[in-house]
Amino acid sequence: MRNIFLAIFTSILLIFVSACNQNHKTQKNNTTKIKEQVALKDSSITSEIEEIEKDTFELTDENALDFFRAYEKDLKENKVKLTTSLGSFTVELYNNVPYHRANFIYLTKKGYFNNTQFHRVVPNFIIQGGNSDDVETARKRGNIGRYLLPPDTKKGHKHHRGTISMPSSERDNPHKLASPFEFFIVVTNPGSYHLDSGYTPFGRVIEGMDVVDKINQSPIDTGEWPVKNIYILKAEAF
């Protein structure tokens, strides 16, 4: 009788211990799942914060040079293909004008130039692009920031035919700081060298100069704006 009682007691004890172990495992698994869910949520929140910070970052006169100095260090692209409503052309950017090169690549990657226009055409002189009368262009400028770049005119580059350069800002600007959202390309043959001391050449057209000439030959109004809008449909860095 005693042996039967001991056997029953032992069986009950084993069942109880097994149940406790199972409950512990379940609690442990639940805890692990909760931790994993919390970790994923934290990671998601961190990513969202990083994206918000990226989206809300704005360039200013105070931070632009430091930003482009750091941005240029890891920059591998040195060419930009511009596809326009009159055809496409490609520019190669100079390595020794780092701020202007980095700025042009940065704006290209941000999609700024897409759907902007060649808003100024001076026959046998230049074509100027990067502006527009569309609200979207103003919005993109506002999101990127408000800043100017200092001229970098002593690197030995000249305003030969096909040179891409940066105009100075229309703001009160005695030092001819560059307007970063716009550019011009020289079509004069052999060049427009009177521009060398005041503006920064930062690259040259290596393919599609016939398209640049075609843009320069477009009819214009009295304000040097093409009669028919000429769009930059897409800008691609490579």
Distance of CA 149 to the CA centre of its chain: 16
Number of domains in the chain: 2
Question: Given 11, 29, 56, which residue is the final one in a domain?
Answer: 56
In a shared domain, residues 226 and 163: yes
In a shared domain, residues 76 and 193: yes
In a shared domain, residues 161 and 223: yes
pLDDT of amino acid 200: 96
In a shared domain, residues 98 and 197: yes
pLDDT of amino acid 17: 46
Please report, in tens digits, the pLDDT of each residue of the chain (238 residues total): 545 544 554 555 455 445 545 554 555 455 455 445 545 444 554 444 344 345 579 999 999 999 999 999 999 999 999 999 999 999 999 999 999 999 999 999 999 999 999 999 999 999 999 999 999 999 999 999 999 999 999 999 999 999 999 998 776 677 779 999 999 999 999 999 999 999 999 999 999 999 999 999 999 999 999 999 999 999 999 9
Give long-range contacts, CB 8 A cutoff, 24+ apart: 221-229: 224/120, 224/121, 224/122, 225/119, 225/120, 225/121, 226/117, 226/118, 226/119, 226/121, 229/85, 229/117
Question: Given 56, 80, 101, which residue is the final one in a domain?
Answer: 56
In a shared domain, residues 163 and 213: yes
In a shared domain, residues 105 and 172: yes
Which CA distances in Å does 91 have to 81, 133, 149, 206?
Answer: 6, 25, 20, 6
pLDDT of amino acid 35: 47
- Per the structure, the complete domain to which residue 13 belongs is given by 1-56
Residue type, 100: H
Radius of gyration of the chain (CA): 31
In a shared domain, residues 46 and 68: no
In a shared domain, residues 49 and 118: no
The position carrying tokens 């490579």 is 238
